Amino acid sequence: MGSFRLEIIIRRSTKFLRRFLRPEKTKKFLSVYRLDIKSAYDSVHIDELIYKCLQLGITGKVAKWMHHFLQERSFQIRWRNTLSDTNILFKGLPQGSVLSPILFVIFLNDFFETLDENVECSVFADDIFVYCSHHSITYIQTKIQNTMENIYKWCSYWKLAICPDKSAIIDLSKKNLTSLPRITYAGIPLTWSESIKYLGIQFAKNNQNGRILRNLRSKALKKINGLKILGYKRNGPRTKHLITIANNSILSLFYYSCPIINKFSETHLKACNVIQTTTLRIALGVPIWTPNIVLLKLAGQEIMSVKIRRLAIQFFIKQIAIHPFSPLTHTNDEFKLQIVEKDADYLRIAFQNLNCIPDHVINLPVLPHSNPNLCEIFLKEFQFQSKETPVSIIVTSFTECIQNLFPDHYIIATDGSKSHCYTSIAGLENSTIFLSYSFLKFRFHSGSISNLPSIG
């Protein structure tokens, strides 16, 4: 998974965690409701989407292009050597398209109008979380119930469906509930859960780190069993290929969320190390009594707990570099990195070993004339994007393009890859505006590079 998605997940989970800790400090109840939209992308009706685009000011050629791009898409199903008849799709967003996440965000533009007073919401693609905190659980029950009724009306109007069976509600405060309030959606009671997953991170009332570890261990063990099948085959993959599979499919689960796993206790980190050594023994095909130091030497790796700490320190140093855009800083006027004491100690030791201070880190400049509320999207491929061009020409063309066309822009370059398996997309978030999409302006560019007409 790309680093851009990791940045977004860290940003959103940090915001959610701050709201989670705020009621804990003020001794308030905090109820969180997870919405599960049934076939979210496939349920978007094209005419309603274009209507919302027009409301946001996306008109003219871009609106027409979107309508032609989405309407009457055809598909066929191949089973062995048989190909089905051609069928037409009259609704839904294409899976794997780079534009689909943006179009879905536009479709959810007015979702926040359903929230009752003092009820908040966090949205990332089709992951929707509604939460409310207050000293009175009766107050929360009333507010959440009113919001659920508004959401039901909104979904009915825009022809979306919520799955109550897959949705859940949880209390994340440190206070004990004498009884669980009854909250319904479309007359169906919501299920109270002991934990809830937000962007791949487990949040729980008690023993959150333990739940995260159990979730990661469960995923890893399933893939370890698959690695055993590959390793025991007579004509299976080579050892170096098994190591690559182990790194990319199993160990990467822990490296991906290193800023969070770094906060584990020593006992939990040792459990992570056991998963690493078990995986490497299977990949290398060595006996179970092989010492860990020999095992790591053969695989050319360091122990997982050490690598997690190193990756976490790299992440925090990057947050220093991108200040004040980092989600871990509270103010733009004064640098103040908001991290726990354990991470602060590791970061302090790292700077001492490097014989430098945080002021030596080169910060991302803040351009006074840049508009943080304007996101420009270019639909035309540039010359340097051609893979057939020699590398030297690509580098020169890229440098000239940035200097001539985007001297005052923050550039987020992504690789859409035109893959059927995954897609990537760039975005720019303003912490005070991104959650209120009606204030976010989009400017689309199309046509040749020399003449880019804008419609905004």
* pLDDT tens for each residue of the chain, 456 residues long: 444 444 555 555 555 555 555 555 556 788 888 888 888 888 889 889 999 988 888 888 888 888 888 887 888 888 888 888 888 888 888 887 878 888 888 888 888 889 888 888 887 777 788 888 888 888 988 999 999 999 999 999 998 888 877 788 888 877 787 788 888 888 888 888 888 877 777 777 777 788 888 889 999 999 999 888 887 776 777 888 889 999 888 998 888 878 888 888 899 999 999 999 999 999 988 888 989 999 999 988 999 999 998 888 888 888 777 776 676 665 545 556 667 777 888 888 888 887 887 777 766 666 555 555 565 666 556 777 776 778 788 778 877 887 787 776 666 555 444 443 333 333 333 333 332 233 333 444 433 333 333 333
Q: Quote the pLDDT of residue 425.
A: 38
Contact 455, 60 (CB under 8 A): yes
Indicate the SS3 state at residue 131: strand
Report if pTM > 0.85: no
Using alpha carbons, list the distances in angstroms from residue 106 to 99, 442, 453, 456. Answer: 11, 10, 22, 14
Q: Which residue has the tokens 């899976």?
A: 95
Q: Quote the pLDDT of residue 367.
A: 57
Q: Quote the pLDDT of residue 374.
A: 60
Query: Burial of 151 by CB count in 10 Å (0-12 exposed, 13-18 middle, 19+ buried)?
Result: buried
Q: Quote the pLDDT of residue 21.
A: 52
Tell me the C-alpha distance between 418 and 440, whole Å. 27
Residues 6+ apart with CB under 8 A from 249: 223, 227
Q: Quote the pLDDT of residue 454.
A: 33
Tell me the C-alpha distance between 256 and 248, whole Å. 10
Using alpha carbons, list the distances in angstroms from residue 320 to 17, 314, 350, 413. Answer: 20, 10, 14, 21
Tell me the C-alpha distance between 435 and 275, whole Å. 39
Under DSSP, the state recorded for 192 is: B
Q: Quote the pLDDT of residue 209.
A: 84
> Cα dihedral sign for 173, 178, 179, 181?
negative
Indicate the SS3 state at residue 34: strand
